């Protein structure tokens, strides 16, 4: 039998996490990042790519891959809109959520 009480606790935990997120956003918002040209160009390419066709039912792994691809595309959008090239790097202020998604993907 599933302990439904744990999900009541998880819902409360989720609300606390959201409150922490509000404080993080107010204090950090965006993080200045320096990215190598090849990585920045790949992110912009992800933003500019058109995905043709609809989505079929996905496995959990496929959903995760699509979610990461979407995060990369949003970073590409940020680079296209407000990135500036400095030599072989691009400097861009990324939303803390996008930076966090990239960090989670690296682990």
35 phi and psi angles, rounded to 5 deg: -125, 145
42 CA to centre of own chain = 15
pTM reported for the whole predicted model: 0.81
Q: Kindly report, residue by residue over 8-40, the tens digit of the pLDDT.
A: 999 999 999 999 988 988 888 899 999 999 999
* Mean pLDDT score of the chain: 91
Would you tell me how many other CB atoms lie within 10 Å of the CB of residue 94? 21
């Amino acid at each position: 039998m599933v302990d439904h009480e744990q999900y009541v606790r998880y819902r409360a935990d989720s609300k606390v996490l959201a409150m922490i997120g509000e404080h993080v956003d107010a204090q950090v918002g965006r993080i200045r990042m320096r990215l190598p040209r090849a990585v920045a160009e790949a992110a912009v390419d992800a933003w500019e790519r058109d995905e043709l066709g609809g989505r079929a039912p996905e496995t959990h792994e496929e959903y995760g891959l699509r979610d990461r691809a979407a995060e990369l595309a949003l970073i590409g959008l940020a680079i296209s809109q407000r990135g500036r090239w400095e030599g072989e790097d691009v400097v861009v202020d990324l939303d803390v959520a996008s930076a966090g998604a990239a960090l989670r993907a690296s682990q």
